Amino acid sequence: LQSNGYGPGFAEENTSSEEQAMIKITGKSYLASPNLPDFCGCSPGWSSAFYGAECFDSEVHNYLKNLGKQKSSESQNIDAKKVELEQLLMMETKNYRKTIKFYQKLLQKERRSKGPEPKSMLPKLRGQLQEMKSKVQFLELVKKYVQAKQWGVESYVLPTVIYSGNADTVDMAPMDESSLLLYYNTEKHQCNNQNGVRVLQAGTPLGLMTYLYSRNAFLEGYVQQFLYTFRYFCTQEEFLQFLLDRISSTLSSASLDPSTSLTKICNRSFYILQAWIEDCYSVDFATNTDLLGTLKEFISSKIASLNGYGERLLSLLEDASARKSGSADLCSGVDKCEEESEEGRKTLHSLCKKLSEDVSRKNFYWKLSKGMGPIAQYQREWLHAGSAVLPKPCCSSFPEESSVSLARVDEVGPVPLMECSAQQLCWQLTLLQQEVFNKCHPVHFLNSRALGVKDKSVTVPKAVSAETVSLKVCNLFLSKCIQDQYLLQLLKNADSISIWVAAEIVTCHTTKRQVSLLSKFLLIAKCCYEQRNFATAMKILAGLENLIVRQLPAWKILPAKVAEIMEELKAVEVFLKSDSLCLMEGDRFKTLPTIPSAHVLAMHVQQLETGGFTMTNGAHKWTKLRNIAKVVSQVHAFQENPYTYAPDFKLQSYLRKRITHFKDADISALAADNCANFHQIPAEKHSRKIQDTLRRMKATFQ
């Protein structure tokens, strides 16, 4: 396999002084096994699956090439580069955490004193925060680049990976790379001096697993894309056994020389195994006790004595299990040694997010002009405009505490809804939606047809539980592949919001109150999509578009400005359905929190899954799988950027109770008990109609 153009300089550095067992970092020495990878975060992350080879540009390569050189003529080994990189990253992280604390103190001082000095310093400090954040993110990208370049083998060595996992290779026929993998040539890469590069097009299941050991598998984003999509062509047990066989056959033969193929295969196997645990524990190991037991038994018997690495792997499994049971953020796969700095980065990230909202809120006002035509016209405009038309937050500064009187929190009826502002309700509904969204994984959105998820219909019938859904219909995964069904829970939660919205409206006993509640829900939905909470906004729209709700007399007396919001919501829905990556355009998704519509995303993935997954020769189309991985990777991208609203637990408790109360409600039955849901005909007019009818009937008999 040809290089993807990151230059020849790093290849030699990668095989230079890895033999040294003692590594010094920040003045401290520790013993590291040259046969095993450093125990740190191995997961490439969503950006690797989304950007692919473009994740690491020429700036990253040039920075690493010059790192560790005192003079331009000197050539430094990779260990020295890693040491200097760790020191720079630690120093920059420490500096901007200090700056965050100083910014917070200055902000509190400005709120208390209202003096001129803090106000003059805050803008300068904001600029410094943005600059320091960019610097830390760049150093983290360089660190990931260093990890991605390690332990790969060239294309002509890939057959060795297959032979290394078989105890008896005498009876095996020689296997050529062309029988396992299929490539196509591309034009000259922007970072490559060669005429072109080979890009993986298709491969057999064995070939696709073998390609994980390719030199550029991490750099191309292949590893992360594989972890998202391998269930289409192999089971979790088959993939685990493939890795364990390579570790077993190479562990005893791997020498201290990192340049040997067996050492590279052994170390790459550990990297892939750990990346799999870090990124997919919740969807593969947590749902399959046999798979988890096989891995634990192998760790205890084979690698427990290797410088404590076995214990660290077991500890990693325990931490992943704790995050799963504790409903922690599944997208975080960082090691314990990075938790402190990660907390500081999240704090800075939320600060910079609010700063960006301050800038953007003044120049945004998404309002449909009265002269605009049908929804199709908005769709055509947005398809050309891309994400530039996406709404920016309309508010950036939030009160420290939501002072809402909820004395009647248990009272049946929408009274507390009317007491709260649309913005307060939007914030709390967003936090509730974030709880369930953060528990989902990109893999949950794959093979959703087998779970009964369909377009424009309820995902799971009320009489059928999630466990009884048949997986035989349209199952794209292998039959023995265990699939987590959390997507059904996510969609059911979304449907309950729609039912709640409709139920609250039809149970209002006066038309005036219905108008007020319709206006409230429309304003909540508008605030939600402006804050990029498209999940809640679209489910409120679905509740308002309920057939019973749409026929209410209250719509006729709804204020015109409020009624226009309904058209805005429909336009947003068309935009979300227009492109599977519409929310990932530009850089705004990196700074502003986003919650996508789960059902819309599942429909986009189903569209990509349409058609065959294999070629005429039986090879699986990797280009198809790569596109699917790119679309579902946005789930982890959005989870990295949480909302930071202050929770109002009383209001959240009330909302949960109301949503749960109506989750199985029959809207037509509720509406039938309420006179306000019917068009009232005046008594005199009704009497006159009866008399006219009788008069006409009498005339027919004469």
- What's the CA gap between 420 and 581, in Å, rounded? 34
CA dist list (Å): 368 to 378, 564, 567, 636: 9, 7, 8, 32
Position 182 pLDDT exceeds 70: yes
Asked if residues 281 and 324 have their Cβ atoms less than 8 Å apart, the reply is yes
Residue type, 586: G
CATH 1.10.840.10 domain locations along the chain? 422-456+480-610+618-683
Strands 28-31 and 620-621: what pairing? unpaired
Q: What are phi and psi of 257, to 5 degrees?
A: -80, 110
- Token pair belonging to 283: 């969807």
Q: For 14-70, how does the pLDDT look when each residue is reduced to its tens digit (9 = 90+)?
A: 333 333 333 333 333 333 343 454 546 678 889 889 998 888 878 888 888 888 665
Taking Cα atoms as reference points, which of 685, 670, 297 lies closest to residue 504?
670
- Token pair belonging to 580: 């599977």
Q: What is the largest CA-CA distance in the chain?
A: 117
Sign of the dihedral through C-alpha 118, 124, 130, 132: negative
Position 395 pLDDT exceeds 80: no
User: If you count them, how many residues does the chain have?
Assistant: 702
Q: For 495-519, how does the pLDDT look when each residue is reduced to its tens digit (9 = 90+)?
A: 999 999 999 999 988 899 999 999 9
Q: Is 358 helix (H, G, I), strand (E, B) or coil?
A: helix
Taking Cα atoms as reference points, which of 348, 349, 262, 269 lies closest to residue 309?
269
Residue 93: count of CB within 10 angstroms of its CB: 22
- What's the CA gap between 500 and 659, in Å, rounded? 5
Residue type, 33: S
Position 567 pLDDT exceeds 80: yes
- What's the CA gap between 59 and 63, in Å, rounded? 6
Q: Which helix (H) or strand (E) holds 621?
A: strand 620-621
Taking Cα atoms as reference points, which of 359, 352, 350, 341 lies closest to residue 128?
352
The segment with the largest mean pLDDT, out of 82-91, 273-282, 351-360, 389-398, is: 273-282
Mean pLDDT (the chain, rounded):
76
The correct answer on CATH 1.10.840.10 for the domain covering 422-456+480-610+618-683 is yes
What distance, in Å, lies between the first and last C-alpha atoms of the chain?
A: 98
- What is the mean pLDDT of the segment spanning 648-676? 90
pTM for this model (two decimals): 0.77
Q: For 75-118, how does the pLDDT look when each residue is reduced to its tens digit (9 = 90+)?
A: 567 777 888 888 898 999 888 888 888 888 887 777 777 666 66
Q: How confident is the model at residue 548 (pLDDT cuts 50, 70, 90)?
A: very high
Residue 637: count of CB within 10 angstroms of its CB: 21
Q: For 278-320, how does the pLDDT look when each residue is reduced to its tens digit (9 = 90+)?
A: 999 999 999 899 999 999 999 988 887 666 677 888 888 988 8
Torsion, CA 374, CA 376, CA 381, CA 385, rounded to 10: 130
pLDDT at position 459 is 43
pLDDT at position 359 is 36
Q: Is 6 helix (H, G, I), strand (E, B) or coil?
A: coil
pLDDT at position 117 is 67
DSSP state of 282: I
- Looking at 88-97, 106-115, 150-159, 333-342, which range is the least confident one? 333-342
